[in-house]
Amino acid sequence: MDSSRRDFLKGACSVTAGAAICVATAETAAAAAPMRRGGDASRRYAMVVDLRKCIGCQACTVACSMENQVPLGDFRTIVSQYEVRDADDPTQPAATYTLPRLCNHCEDPPCVPVCPVQATYQQKDGKVLVDADRCVGCAYCVQACPYDARYINPETQTADKCTFCTHRTDVGLLPACVETCTGGARVFGDLLDPDSEINALLAEHEVKVLRPEQGTSPHVFYIGLDDRFQGKVDGQAALWVVRDDQGHRIGEV
């Protein structure tokens, strides 16, 4: 269909009673899958987390929550921590394993195609974002994310997640978690820039991603990721419950 005919059809639809559906159909007829929108196609943002440098201080968790006004009890990023016993030598004291988690800004994000109103979308620079004005709060994306990276924000009643601090990175700043990381474990950058630090790290080290079997092609890469923590961790669950000032339960840590 040539563009003038399509424009005519769009125009004709928009003045009829079923305008909304017609326009949406005309727009989507050209593409049978979600289109990337916004962002700079000459960039592909990603993050490398060097687990050898992470000390589990949660500075990133706090910086993210302050920067993005994340409601109490929810997190856009958190450093999961585990006590790991040496199965071969139980007399050894248990070691601590720390694993920063955030949205993986996947190349093939499963949260995007399920969204019934295209509020969750991917930018051309790879960032997976939510248009909170369009989101209906159906939480389908929360179910589809294989990393439990999404939640319904109780204040906005819409889907919420890590944005790679898009409001900061768009103006040349680093994400809050990267800025504050005490060990320099988090490195953010552009994969399409051959001189970027992230490209140097990827060239130098063997990296892994979380849940590769899901086929989502995550763009948060880990240096030093133990296989036992790559998927759903086989271990004992969280131990403590967090309560607010009034004693109401607000989550577990």
What residues numbered 84-123 form the site for another protein, per CB under 8 A? 84-85, 87, 90, 94, 96-97, 101, 110, 113-119
CA dihedral 18, 20, 22, 26 (to 10 degrees): 170
Nearer to another protein, 71 or 199 (CB): 71
CB crowding 38-55: b at 16 or more within 10 Å, else e: ebeeebbbbbbbbbeebe
Q: What distance in Å separates the CA atoms of residue 164 and residue 123, rounded to the nearest whole number?
A: 12
Q: What distance in Å separates the CA atoms of residue 46 and residue 48, rounded to the nearest whole number?
A: 7
In this structure, are strands 220-223 and 207-208 parallel, antiparallel, or unpaired? Answer: antiparallel
Q: Phi and psi at residue 78, in whole multiples of 5°?
A: -155, 155
Binder among 126, 127, 130, 147 for another protein (CB under 8 A): 147
Stretch that binds another protein, among 9-17, 128-136, 185-193, 196-204 (CB under 8 A): 128-136
- Residue 196 as a binder of another protein (CB under 8 A): the answer is no
Nearer to another protein, 152 or 201 (CB): 152
Nearest distance from C-beta of residue 65 to another protein, angstroms: 11
Site for another protein in 206-245 (CB under 8 A): 210-211, 214, 228, 231-239, 241
Site for another protein in 23-82 (CB under 8 A): 24-25, 28, 32-34, 56, 58, 74-75, 78-82
Nearer to another protein, 120 or 163 (CB): 120
Nearer to another protein, 1 or 239 (CB): 239
HSE at residue 60, side-chain half, CA atoms within 13 A, is 29
Nearer to another protein, 58 or 123 (CB): 58
Binder among 42, 55, 72, 134 for another protein (CB under 8 A): 134
Q: What distance in Å separates the CA atoms of residue 192 and residue 251, rounded to the nearest whole number?
A: 39
Q: Which of 122, 98, 119 minimizes the C-alpha distance to 108?
A: 122
- # chain residues binding another protein, by CB under 8 A: 71
